[in-house]
Each structure stands twice: as C-alpha cells, then as structure tokens.
Amino acid sequence: MMSSFENTYWPLNTKGFNNKIPAVGFGTYLISDKTTIYKALDTALAAGYRLIDTAAVYNNESYIKDALNVLLPKYKLTRKDLFITSKLDPKDHGDEKTVINAVNRSLNNLGTDYLDLFLIHWPGTFKVSSNSPENFKMRNSTWKALMKIHNNGNGPLKNIGVSNYTTKHIKEILADPSNVVPAVNQVEFHPYYQQSSEFHKVCRDAKIILQAYCSMGGSAGKNSLLNNDIITSIAQKHSISTAQVLLKWALQRNYAIIPKSVTPERIKLNIELDKELTKEDMESINNIKHIEKFAWQPEKVF
C-alpha cells in the first residue's frame, strides 16, 4: 500500500511548470552500483517515491537513466511524473561555458532534456582553499550562469538552488536584488545538528525550501541517532521505527527529506510517514542536548 506522501508536494518559490516539490524523495548518495541502483529504484517507485536525488559526484546518473528506461514503462509512469534533482560538481564552478558543459553532462547522463532542480553542491570550489575570497567570486559567477540556463523556468533547469549553504552564503545571494532566490537549500539536519535560528529565519523569510540530508545521522557507534533513548521511546510509543520518527520529526520541522536505503523494507518504511508526532514528542527531540555533525563543514568556506 502506497503512503499518502506519494501525493504530498510543497510549493516552491517559483512560478509555472514544476513549481512544487515532493516532501519525501529518494536519495542515492553512495549508491554507485548499476544493479543496486536498479533494485533500489524499482522498490522506491513501487512504494510511491517520485523524487530522485542525485549529483554529478555520486557517479550514478547514467545508472539512474538506464534504470528509469525500464522502470518508467513498468509502472506506467512518464518523465513528467518524476522530480529529478542533480547537483554541480565543485570542480565545475566558474564561467558560463564551464557551467553549461557541466549541466549538459548531467542532462545527457540522466537521459532527460530538463531537470526539475539543479543545485550548487558546495559553496567552495575544488582546489581553492576554503579561506580564499576566490570562493565567493566563483560561486557568484556560477549562480549567474545557472540563472541564465534557468531562464525564469523556461530553460532546461526548471528550478535552481544550493546545497550546504550557510546563513552567510545565503545572505550573499539575497544581497543582490538581480539574483534569483534559490528554490531549495539542501543541508545536514537531524536532532544532533539542528542548524541555527538565524539560518531558519533567513531561509524562511526568503521562502527557500529546506531539504535535509543525514536525517538519520551518520554513525553506527554509541551516539547513533537510531539507538538514541529518546528516539527509541517515541518509536515504541507509536509502534513505528526509529528511522520513521527521525524522518517525521524533520517533516514536522518543515524540512523536505531524501532518505536513502538499499534495503527494500526500509525503503518502504521511509515513506510511510502518516503518523503524527505529538507536541511533547517534538519538544523532547528538539531538546536533545548532544551535538554532533556527521558530514562536511561548509561553515569553513569563505
């Protein structure tokens, strides 16, 4: 049975075609084997996922294309039934020609003539020191190039956004009134790393959708979120998995999510998120004191 989240879409700050995004998507980070991609997407599409999140650096875009060539007819779907996100490789920051070439590679690899969303993957540029002012110049020129390709939604990139952008990086874009406001900012977000109140206000005021990665943390050790006592007790109370608690918490915090798994049962459970967490549940999770970041450190990028 498909989750009602198959039909839950959130509005983007754009107009026209593709101006809504599924609240729950399927992440493909670290899934770089062709057979594994096929099996995972087969399960995901059957379960109701309609957003597929990838990136140039994941090295799986062409495998996704091959899988969809078989799976879309299998499930009587068309390209327009899907929301596909990809991201710019940090080595491809720069002038318009460089960015256009990178976008075209992703389009060709994915076998599509448009992307629903394309993100700057990282605020820094490959081989540029994180504390160099050159990073600002490069991401600024990159954003201008993406705006041209986007062409107010009339180009092959229907929406453009960013990933791993901090408050500082977002404010830079917003400071230039000629800039398109990013549709999405995809960032690390989970109970051990909840971002700042200023970050949330800046993005909320600009109507930027926040999309979480690492929703279930990233460590299997003693501080694992999936084994956290508070998360476990809430899961037991509602008769759901700890992963479902963490994903539902993120949704109720107004974050879109892109859970990743290659295990069929977990793929199915990760979109079955109809059970509401109570106000008390939310407050208990919000007030978890442990702080731990599992991914990269964009705060260090000038």
Q: What pLDDT shows up at residue 2?
A: 44
- Tell me, what's the pLDDT at 15? 72
Residue 137 has pLDDT above 60, yes or no: yes
Q: Is the pLDDT of residue 202 over 50?
A: yes
pTM of the model: 0.96
In this prediction, residue 1 carries a pLDDT of: 38
Query: Do residues 180 and 150 lie in contact, with contact meaning Cβ atoms separated by under 8 Å?
Result: yes
Whether the pLDDT of residue 17 is over 80: the answer is no
Which domains are present in the chain? 10-291 (3.20.20.100)
pLDDT of residue 84: 98
Q: What is the pLDDT of residue 218?
A: 77
pLDDT of residue 18: 75
193 catalytic, yes or no? no
Given a cut of 60, whether residue 291 has pLDDT beyond it is yes
Q: What is the mean pLDDT of the chain?
A: 95
Supply the pLDDT for residue 223.
65
Of the listed 49, 58, 192, 213, which one is catalytic?
58
pLDDT at 16: 66
Q: What percent of the chain is predicted at pLDDT more than 70?
A: 95
Q: Is the pLDDT of residue 6 over 80?
A: no
pLDDT tens figures, 100-134: 999 999 999 999 999 999 999 999 999 999 999 99
